[in-house]
Structure 1
Amino acid sequence: MAEQFSEVDKLRAALLENAEILSDCPLVEEEPGSQEVLTRIENVILGVVTSLSKDEAPVLVLPNRSSWANVSFDSAVGLQMSSGNSVTTIRSDCPSSVTKFAHILKILSIIYKLIQSNSYATKRDIYYKDPQLFGSQRNVDFIVDDISCMLKVPRRTLHVLATSKGLISGDLCYLEEDGTRVDCHSSSIAVAVSSNVGGIKNIVSSAKFVMIVEKDATFQSLLDDDFCTKLCPCIMITGKGVPDVNSRLMVRKLWDTLHIPIFALVDADPHGIEIMCIYKYGSVSMSFEAHSLTVPSVMWLGLLPSDLWRLKVPEDTLIPLTKRDESKLNSLLKRPYLTDQPEWQREMEVMQQSKVKAELQSLTAIAPDFLTSIYLPNKLRYGGWV
């Protein structure tokens, strides 16, 4: 087996050899303690009270989480928030922002009590504390991230958890913070990604690599085919499309702990490429937490646009790019991190020139078991990633 996947073994050996260097790299950032987070909340409230004492309308200033002007690129970290050039002002005396102002203060008070009592709540719990005030779960989700960004702390230090949508399977065991032992070895049933990834400890694995799978359907197909044990010991994880924060935290946790190759298996389309970039380089909206969410070592295993022609994938399974696809592709090619990835650029240019995209399922047109029996084994054997 070791000989069969010699390229993966070489890469794994190199990463393990450099494990000490990797653990000291700038990706790891010390988290503030509970008392520090409480102090930062108190400072925000103090600012509000001070304004009221001066008979002034209180104002909250937040970094703009949707602006590229606030983001810089570092090849060792990915997209990270820089000293803000663009901010959002939430005024208590403005009809368009007074509701959000109230939401922020309410959630700050809930978070303060959670940290004081060393207890946790889900974002869903927070919404149901006052659904009439919050209006929708989405408002709560967005504001929790705004508060995390405003206080400059990772979301988990706010004691607010999110229900995970991701799944994980393979050669992996660990303990949850409450002592529950989780075994991901089952070949037929995946485990839900933890809602408290930060509390995971005692990770045990002999996996040779981690494979991020874009879609749940592909993940389930690989699970049904017993991919994690039939091919070689590995770990599979899916965020079921655009990944939630917990799925990204889990990939990062595995990287920090195991220092093994991380591969991405996505559709050969702009949407799949963007999802892979989120795992690798992060997103603009969560760039303030880049140090714990990005894994710049992620490699593109497939489906590569060049694979479509190399493997002679039947043309009737190829899908023409829509105007929206072309716009997304052009946008991706302009992203700052692509200058560091000439091979990725070339693959995207192949797609741009051919004007077609394809899902991983298109490989079944070659043979029903082509993905698991031929495509992935050969990719891993001969180093067919970029």
Structure 2
Amino acid sequence: MEDLCKSSLTFFSDQQLCYADVLPPPEVRARIEIAVLNFLRILNSPEPAISLLPLINRRMSNSRVSRGLLTDVPWIFLSHSFCTSSLMKATAAKAFIRVWKVMEMCFQILVEGKRVTQRELFYKLLCTSPNYFSSQLQVNRTIQDVVALLRCSRFSLGIMASSRGLVAGRLLLQEPGKEEIDCGATGSSGHAISGDLSLLGNLVMRADARYIILVEKHAIFQRLVEDRVFNQIPSILITARGYPDIATRFLLHRMSRNFPELPILALVDWNPAGLAILCTFKFGSIGMGLEAYRYACNVKWLGLRGDDLELIPQESLTPLKPKDLQIAKSLISLEILPESYLQELALMTQSGCRAEIEALYFNGYDYLGKYIATKIVRANYI
């Protein structure tokens, strides 16, 4: 225990760390204990005060771009800038208390050797501390505050990812001690991705695919699985059913490491939201800046793209919404997008239009597979 405390004291004194470690429960508990001891020490000092919580700043202004040592793929990370949360400011008092409440709950979870989802944690906190937690968003943000304070991953805190993801196609998965699962024989619903990152990390994976196809929408994923496109184009299909959850990102990252020769091709709507989903898989996200590098992978943009608009009738285009323009502005401000992505965004905003993947059905309900095959043959992805 003494060694763990020394390790944690070193951690708290080292302000250069700006990433989240994956740690065993004893080390996380030690970091929580040191945070409490530091708080009590200042509170009981000759000149007592309420100490500030030094949280790594998760704002856009603190984001940077880094490249891996073994790859040219960049990812988003957070620099060494800190912000503080104080009990003495009326606007921040509840947020300050929420951090300690979540840390207390995580400590109990780790002592009991349990894992909970963010949703389960929300209902527990709603029942025990209703004056401080009234929404899931408050819990999610507070979890990120705890990650920013302790600089350990949410999984290390005992918090499991709630997964919406599905995978299908030419992939065999096997959990330790269990039977192998053939993801090509799971029906149109695909195989549900577990939210347990430890389980995902221990999966044995085998594949005879040539591509990994990332699909934005659940309905499109189902259509491709029903058409067994993965047999026509030897591939693995994966979807997060919209904005990517951590478990789906983690599994995709693992597949990119296990099968580095397989290009990952994204099929998303031609609108800023579709591009934002692609970029989250590719670069990571500001909110997850402390852990982004654990999930990012080199995703290529298969479609829809601006040059695909000739494949669909003008009547299927819909006007951009105010939210689309906000997302476009946010993406441009990242200063990470390739020039080709910026050109696509400019075309979207100048035309004022958006196109959804379903518009390709104008060419027939079996057209999606042909479209993907044609794009691959042309190698027209970035």
1:17-40 Cα offsets, whole Å, 9 max, x none, are xxxxxxxxxxx9973343332222
Q: Is the 8 A contact 1:29 1:291 kept in 2?
A: no
Matches within 5 A, 1:1-386: 31-54=22-45, 55-65=48-58, 67-75=59-67, 76-84=73-81, 86-87=82-83, 89-132=84-127, 133=129, 134-176=133-175, 179=178, 181-185=180-184, 186-200=186-200, 201-229=203-231, 231-259=232-260, 260-295=262-297, 297-309=298-310, 311=311, 313-338=312-337, 341-372=338-369, 374-386=370-382
Q: What is the alpha-carbon root mean square deviation over aligned residues?
A: 2.4
SS in 1 for 2:336: helix
Q: Is the 8 A contact 2:213 2:235 kept in 1?
A: yes
What's the CA shift for 1:358? Answer: 0.6
- Listed as ranges, the gaps of 5+ residues in structure 1 are 1-27
1:18-77 Cα offsets, whole Å, 9 max, x none, are xxxxxxxxxx99733433322222221112111221232243222232x11211012434
What's the CA shift for 1:272? Answer: 0.5
Whole-angstrom CA distance in 2 between matches of 1:113 and 1:171? 41
Q: Is the 8 A contact 1:317 1:365 kept in 2?
A: no
Q: Is the 8 A contact 2:325 2:349 kept in 1?
A: yes
Q: 1:210 to 1:33 in 2, by over 3 A?
A: same
Q: Is the 8 A contact 2:76 2:293 kept in 1?
A: no
- Listed as ranges, the gaps of 5+ residues in structure 2 are 1-18, 68-72
Whole-angstrom CA distance in 2 between matches of 1:31 and 1:283? 18
What's the CA shift for 1:335? Answer: 2.6
SS in 1 for 2:214: strand
Q: 1:29 to 1:331 in 2, by over 3 A?
A: closer
TM-score by length of 2: 0.84
1:76-123 Cα offsets, whole Å, 9 max, x none, are 341111111x51x32234443333333222221222233344332222
1:247-300 Cα offsets, whole Å, 9 max, x none, are 1111111111121211110011111011111110111111111221211x2100
Q: Is the 8 A contact 1:305 1:350 kept in 2?
A: yes
What's the CA shift for 1:366? Answer: 2.6
Q: How many residues align?
A: 349
Q: Is the 8 A contact 1:306 1:347 kept in 2?
A: no
Q: 1:121 to 1:324 in 2, by over 3 A?
A: closer
* Residue of structure 2 in register with 1:9 after alignment: none
TM-score by length of 1: 0.83
* Residue of structure 2 in register with 1:15 after alignment: none
Whole-angstrom CA distance in 2 between matches of 1:130 and 1:177? 34
Which of 279-288 and 232-241 deviates more? 232-241
